[in-house]
C-alpha cells in the first residue's frame, strides 16, 4: 500500500463540479475532492450522503444557531464495533485486543472491520446566527 494513501480523506462536494479535468502532481486519497462529476464517473450514488448532510446542517442552524461557515463534510472510517478479539492460543490474562488498540497489519485478527460514515469537520470559522430573516441569510451564505 502506498503510505500516502494510508489515511484517506474524501471531501464531499454535492453542489460542485470540477472546473478542469487536469490531474496535477501525484494522486493521493489523503485530501481527495469527491465532487458530483467524480461521483458520476466512479458510479457512486450521491443520495446516501444527502440525508446526513441535511441533518447536520439542520442541527447546526436550528438547534445550535451556528451558520456552518466553511465546514467540511468528509467520508471517514471508524471501527465497526468495539469487539474484543482473542487469537487462538493467546493467554487470557494479557490485555485483550480491541478495535481501538490494534494496528492494521498481517498479525491483526479479521474482526477489525471498518465502517464508512459522513463526518463533519472544520468548525474554526463558524459564527452564531439568530432565528430571523437575517440569520437565515447568514446561514445560506455560510454554506
Per the CB < 8 A criterion, the answer to whether 12 and 32 are in contact is no
Q: Give the distance from CA 48 to its chain's centroid.
A: 13
Q: What pLDDT does residue 8 have? A: 75
Give, in order, the Cα–Cα distances in Å from 5 to each of 88, 90, 102, 134: 32, 32, 19, 43
pTM to 2 decimal places: 0.68
Q: What pLDDT does residue 77 have? A: 76
pLDDT tens-digit series, residues 25-44: 677 777 788 899 989 999 99
Kindly tell me if the per-residue pLDDT of 111 is higher than 60. no
Q: Find the mean pLDDT for residues 93-110.
A: 53
Q: Find the mean pLDDT for residues 124-136.
A: 94
Per the CB < 8 A criterion, the answer to whether 71 and 12 are in contact is no
pLDDT tens-digit series, residues 60-76: 999 999 999 999 999 88
Amino acid at each position: 500500500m502506498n503510505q500516502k494513501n494510508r489515511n484517506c480523506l474524501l471531501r464531499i462536494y454535492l453542489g460542485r463540479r470540477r472546473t478542469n479535468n487536469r490531474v496535477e502532481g501525484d494522486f493521493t486519497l489523503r485530501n481527495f475532492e469527491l465532487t458530483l462529476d467524480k461521483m458520476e464517473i466512479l458510479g457512486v450514488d450521491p443520495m446516501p450522503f444527502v440525508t446526513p448532510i441535511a441533518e447536520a446542517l439542520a442541527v447546526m442552524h436550528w438547534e445550535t444557531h451556528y451558520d456552518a461557515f466553511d465546514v467540511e463534510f468528509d467520508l471517514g472510517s471508524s471501527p465497526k464495533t468495539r469487539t474484543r478479539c482473542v487469537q487462538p492460543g493467546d493467554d487470557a490474562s494479557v490485555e485483550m485486543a480491541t478495535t481501538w488498540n490494534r494496528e492494521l497489519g498481517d498479525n491483526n485478527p479479521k474482526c477489525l472491520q471498518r465502517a464508512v460514515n459522513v463526518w463533519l469537520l472544520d468548525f474554526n470559522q463558524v459564527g452564531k446566527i439568530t432565528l430571523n430573516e437575517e440569520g437565515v441569510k447568514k446561514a445560506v451564505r455560510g454554506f
